[in-house]
């Protein structure tokens, strides 16, 4: 066996070997979202020490709803960043989708499910247009989406009216961000996640075993599923605590509805990127577009689809934004795109394409939200807040640039 | 000599770029189980000849016979459908993907769009094993972490994986050190021994003489020599390349 020529699959060795391999990969620059995760823990500890309100259930629930819009936008942008492209229009696309949602319901009496479909379809259409201009006409995405950023702001003004404000009153839409789920739903959600994770992991292990391939040590699966269980249980029980200002009048406890929505988007997007041909082609085009083309991948089609996905996520972000504010104004979504790009990059998605995951965007979204929320609680001027967010983004982009240079020259 | 039909035979192939004749009535044939070297100075027309075979830049005139039958090579698709694959000098691998992903790039195994990673991993490992590759440790390594020789190995193994009949290697050793060059040359030899027709383009005559069975020399767009390695010497080939010597090509 030892002098037989065997080629490994990276699944050999014990639990400890796997740990050592992971450390070696991190040292080699494949850090993923690890720095963001560590940063998140440090920031949370600092803010908790500075102001005890930071750790109150009400603040944590606020943090989740604050970050949901930016995180959804950032997940969509991750697809675009994986190609090495950018979408500066994602925020205004969200704003325009929110406006269409609100107007179709209030002015035309459209039922809310149809209005949701209209909002997401508008996003998809915008993505298609951007994608065609980038992939077929060949205009750099920076320029196309900058033009769209300006033009859609104008369109938003026309649609909503100057200084206008369109209210949202459909209870299901308002509930997404403002009403928590019943207590039991949080636990059911966690149980579903746990069963799905362990089930799919065991299924793929059995498939590998039947085709005679090695599996990663069982310890890794146990470790990961226990982490999901413990962290998840912590989240759910914390969010199930009473957080109403006056519980006798209005009780406020439970996981917000937006949490399962974001988790479903995360799971669906991750599945597409990791398990489908299309997802593989996205990484290939982002890694080396010429190699992808020579391998027979239709690069421009991949690009168009990616912009459509990204802008559809923006449409969903628009719905979340409208739900949280219970209204849509003429400037909706104008400022959030830079936070969303920052979230993705801080989380570990590369600006150079080909490297990053949707979960990175979620973690990055938390970092950006924690900075915003924590500095607000400390009472720092908002100017400083922006400067610090900018600094964090620059730090993450520097790390990204160094990692990318290292992997190119090695 | 050999009586069997060549896998590819080019007859009187011509290619012009405007007024410049890049290929002038070129004859070229490639046999299964042999390494055929194509040598010549810069601008002699080597790349143009290869691009024609790859379908990237079709020839203007001439006959192409594939296993004895006349064929057209007007698009990369046509030549890859026939089983002709080019391993380019710049390798065309995606650094951010692992070896398995790269070997199956664009032709992933999937059930209703969902990737079958297990099947791809087994096939990739089998292919590398069949080529007696010892330099690659794990098929799940990212290509970015591989050395030049290992990358070349992956690129060649990809061509083998798809059961191509003709594998064209463009300067496979140009960027490699001594030990890695040796490994890649051994791989090229094994490729031919497994029954494939291998075309190797190289500037390095030492490499050519180490691995080739037959040597074709292009000089200013003309095929000035077609010789068996056993019947020639490095000095002769240098003569053909520089135009100091010519041989009547009549094979």
Residue A359 resides in a domain: yes
**Residue A16 confidence class, pLDDT cut points 50, 70, 90:** confident
Name which of B110, B115, B139 is nearest A9 (Cβ-Cβ). Answer: B139
pLDDT tens digit sequence for A259-284: 999 999 999 999 999 999 999 999 99
Chain A positions in Cβ-Cβ contact with residue B122 (cut-off 8 Å): 211-213
Average of per-residue pLDDT across B6-12: 91
Average of per-residue pLDDT across A32-56: 89
Name which of A28, A213, A284 is nearest B122 (Cβ-Cβ). Answer: A213
pLDDT score for A216: 81
Q: Does A27 touch chain B (CB under 8 A)?
A: no
Residue A271 resides in a domain: yes
CB neighbourhood size of A223 (10 A): 13
Residue A396's CATH number: 1.10.3470
Least Cα separation, residue B115 to chain A (angstroms): 5
Q: Which residues contact A250 (CB under 8 A, 6 or more apart)?
A: A244
A–B interface: beta-carbon pairs under 8 A = 108
Name which of B88, B94, B141 is nearest A292 (Cβ-Cβ). Answer: B94
pLDDT score for A198: 93
* % pLDDT > 70, chain A: 96
Of the segments B136-140, B215-219, B229-233, which one has the largest average pLDDT value?
B215-219
Is the per-residue pLDDT at A37 higher than 60? Answer: yes
Q: What angle do CA B73, B75, B79 make, to 5 degrees?
A: 55
pLDDT score for B151: 86
pLDDT score for A122: 97
Q: Does A246 touch chain B (CB under 8 A)?
A: no
Is the per-residue pLDDT at A293 higher than 80? Answer: yes
Average of per-residue pLDDT across B222-251: 81
Q: B105 and A292 in contact by Cβ < 8 A? A: yes
Average of per-residue pLDDT across A232-261: 88
**Residue A116 confidence class, pLDDT cut points 50, 70, 90:** very high
Least Cα separation, residue A220 to chain B (angstroms): 17
* Mean pLDDT taken over chain A: 89
pLDDT score for B3: 53
Decide: A127 and A310 in contact? Cβ < 8 Å: yes
Residue showing tokens 């053909």: B240
Q: Which residues contact A227 (CB under 8 A, 6 or more apart)?
A: none
Chain B positions in Cβ-Cβ contact with residue A30 (cut-off 8 Å): 142
pLDDT score for B1: 43
pLDDT score for B102: 93
* % pLDDT > 70, chain B: 96
Residue A208 resides in a domain: no
pLDDT tens digit sequence for B107-159: 898 888 888 888 898 889 888 888 777 777 788 888 888 888 888 888 888 88
> Do the bridges between strand B166-170 and strand B197-201 make them parallel or antiparallel, or are there none, so unpaired?
parallel
Total of domains in chain A:
1
**Residue A6 confidence class, pLDDT cut points 50, 70, 90:** low
CA A363 to CA A35: how far, in whole Å?
Answer: 10
* Least confident among A250-264, A317-331, B232-246: B232-246
Average of per-residue pLDDT across A380-389: 80
Phi, psi angle pair for B62, to nearest 5° = 115, 170
Give ipTM to 2 decimals: 0.85
CA B53 to CA A343: how far, in whole Å?
Answer: 48
CB neighbourhood size of A88 (10 A): 20
Interface probe for A, chosen from B144, B146, B154, B175 (most Cβ of A below 10 Å), is B144
Is the per-residue pLDDT at B17 higher than 70? Answer: yes
pLDDT score for B248: 59
Closest residue by Cα to residue A8 from A209, A208, A214: A214
Q: Does A9 touch chain B (CB under 8 A)?
A: yes
Q: B144 and A407 in contact by Cβ < 8 A? A: yes
- Using CA coordinates, name the residue in chain B closest to A212: B122
Name which of B96, B107, B128 is nearest A355 (Cβ-Cβ). Answer: B96
CA B57 to CA A120: how far, in whole Å?
Answer: 44
Chain A positions in Cβ-Cβ contact with residue B118 (cut-off 8 Å): 204, 207-208, 211, 213
Burial B3-42 (b: 16+ CB within 10 A, else e): eeebbbbbeebebeeeeebbbbebbbbbbbbbbbbbbbee
Q: A291 and B144 in contact by Cβ < 8 A? A: no
Residue A377 resides in a domain: yes
Q: Which domain holds residue A322?
A: 33-179+256-409
Phi, psi angle pair for A289, to nearest 5° = -60, -35
The H-or-E segment that residue A290 falls in is helix A289-294
**Residue A290 confidence class, pLDDT cut points 50, 70, 90:** confident
Q: Would you give the DSSP letter of residue A246?
A: S
CA B34 to CA B195: how far, in whole Å?
Answer: 8
Is the per-residue pLDDT at A140 higher than 60? Answer: yes
Name which of B93, B114, B137 is nearest A276 (Cβ-Cβ). Answer: B114
* Least confident among A11-15, A210-214, A248-252, B44-48: A11-15
Q: What angle do CA A267, A28, A22 make, to 5 degrees?
A: 55
Residue A198 resides in a domain: no
Decide: B176 and B154 in contact? Cβ < 8 Å: no
CB-count exposure of residue A245 (10 Å: 0-12, 13-18, 19+): exposed
pLDDT score for A2: 35
CA B13 to CA A37: how far, in whole Å?
Answer: 62
Terminal Cα-to-Cα distance of chain A (whole angstroms):
32
Q: Which residues contact B190 (CB under 8 A, 6 or more apart)?
A: B131, B132
3-state secondary structure of A245: coil
Residue showing tokens 């046999």: B31
pLDDT score for B15: 92
Is the per-residue pLDDT at A161 higher than 80? Answer: yes
Q: A213 and B121 in contact by Cβ < 8 A? A: yes
Could you give all domains of chain B from N- to C-terminal order, each with its CATH number?
8-242 (3.40.50.300)
**Residue A410 confidence class, pLDDT cut points 50, 70, 90:** very low
pLDDT score for A408: 58
CA A58 to CA A40: how far, in whole Å?
Answer: 19
Rounded to the nearest 10°, the torsion over CA A68, A73, A74, A79 is 140
């Amino acid at each position: 066996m030892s002098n037989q020529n065997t080629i490994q699959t990276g699944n050999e060795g014990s639990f400890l070997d796997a740990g050592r391999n992971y450390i070696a990969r991190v040292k080699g620059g494949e850090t993923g979202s690890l720095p963001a995760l560590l940063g998140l823990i440090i920031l949370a500890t600092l803010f908790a020490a500075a102001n005890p309100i930071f750790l109150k259930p009400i603040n944590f629930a606020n943090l989740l709803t604050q970050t949901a819009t930016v995180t959804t936008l950032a997940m969509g942008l991750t697809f675009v960043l994986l190609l090495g492209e950018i979408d500066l229009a994602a925020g205004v696309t969200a704003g325009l989708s929110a406006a269409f949602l609100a107007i179709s319901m209030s002015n035309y009496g459209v039922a809310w499910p149809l209005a949701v479909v209209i909002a997401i379809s508008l996003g998809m259409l915008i993505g298609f247009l951007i994608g065609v201009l980038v992939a077929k006409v060949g205009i750099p995405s920076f320029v196309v989406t900058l033009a769209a950023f300006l033009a859609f702001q104008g369109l938003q003004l026309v649609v909503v009216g100057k200084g206008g404000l369109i209210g949202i009153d459909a209870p299901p839409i308002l509930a997404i961000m403002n009403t928590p789920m019943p207590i039991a739903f949080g636990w059911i959600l966690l149980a579903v996640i746990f069963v799905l994770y362990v089930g799919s992991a065991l299924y793929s292990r059995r498939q590998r075993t039947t085709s005679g391939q090695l599996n990663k040590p069982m310890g890794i699966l146990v470790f990961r599923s226990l982490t999901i269980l413990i962290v998840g249980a912590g989240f759910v029980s914390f969010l199930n605590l009473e957080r109403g200002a006056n519980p006798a009048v209005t009780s406020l406890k439970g996981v917000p509805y937006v949490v399962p929505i974001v988790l479903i988007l995360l799971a669906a997007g991750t599945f597409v990127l990791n398990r489908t041909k299309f997802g593989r082609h996205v990484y290939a085009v982002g890694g080396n577009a010429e190699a992808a083309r020579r391998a027979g991948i239709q690069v421009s089609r991949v690009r168009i689809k990616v912009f459509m996905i990204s802008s559809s996520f923006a449409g969903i972000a628009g719905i979340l934004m409208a739900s949280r504010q219970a209204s849509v104004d003429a400037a909706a979504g104008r400022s959030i795109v830079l936070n969303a790009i920052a979230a993705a990059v801080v989380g570990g998605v590369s600006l150079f394409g080909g490297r990053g995951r949707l979960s990175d965007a979620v973690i990055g979204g938390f970092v950006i939200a924690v900075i915003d929320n924590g500095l607000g609680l400390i009472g720092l001027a908002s100017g400083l807040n922006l400067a610090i967010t900018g600094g964090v983004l620059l730090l993450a982009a520097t790390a990204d640039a160094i990692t990318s240079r290292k992997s190119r020259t090695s | 000599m050999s009586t069997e039909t060549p896998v590819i035979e080019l007859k009187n192939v011509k290619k012009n770029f405007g007024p410049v004749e890049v290929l002038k009535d070129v004859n070229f044939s490639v046999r299964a189980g042999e390494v055929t070297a194509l040598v010549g100075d810069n601008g002699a027309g080597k790349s143009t000849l290869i691009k024609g075979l790859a379908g990237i830049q079709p020839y203007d005139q001439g006959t192409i016979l594939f296993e004895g039958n006349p064929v057209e090579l007007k698009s990369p698709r046509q030549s890859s459908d026939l089983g002709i694959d080019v391993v380019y000098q710049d390798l065309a691998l995606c650094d951010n993907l692992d070896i398995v992903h790269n070997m199956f790039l664009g032709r992933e195994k999937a059930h209703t769009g969902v990737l079958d990673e297990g099947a791809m991993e087994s096939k990739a490992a089998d292919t590398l094993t069949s080529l007696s590759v010892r330099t690659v440790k794990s098929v799940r390594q990212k290509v970015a972490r591989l050395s030049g020789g290992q990358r070349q190995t992956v690129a060649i193994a990809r061509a083998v994986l798809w059961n191509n009949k003709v594998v064209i290697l463009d300067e496979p050793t140009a960027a490699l050190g001594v030990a890695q060059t040796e490994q890649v040359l051994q791989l090229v030899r094994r490729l031919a021994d497994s029954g494939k027709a291998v075309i190797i383009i190289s500037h390095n005559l030492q490499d050519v003489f180490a691995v080739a069975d037959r040597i074709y020399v292009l000089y200013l767009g003309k095929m000035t020599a077609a010789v068996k390695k056993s019947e020639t010497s490095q000095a002769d080939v240098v003569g053909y390349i520089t135009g100091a010597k010519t041989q009547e090509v009549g094979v």
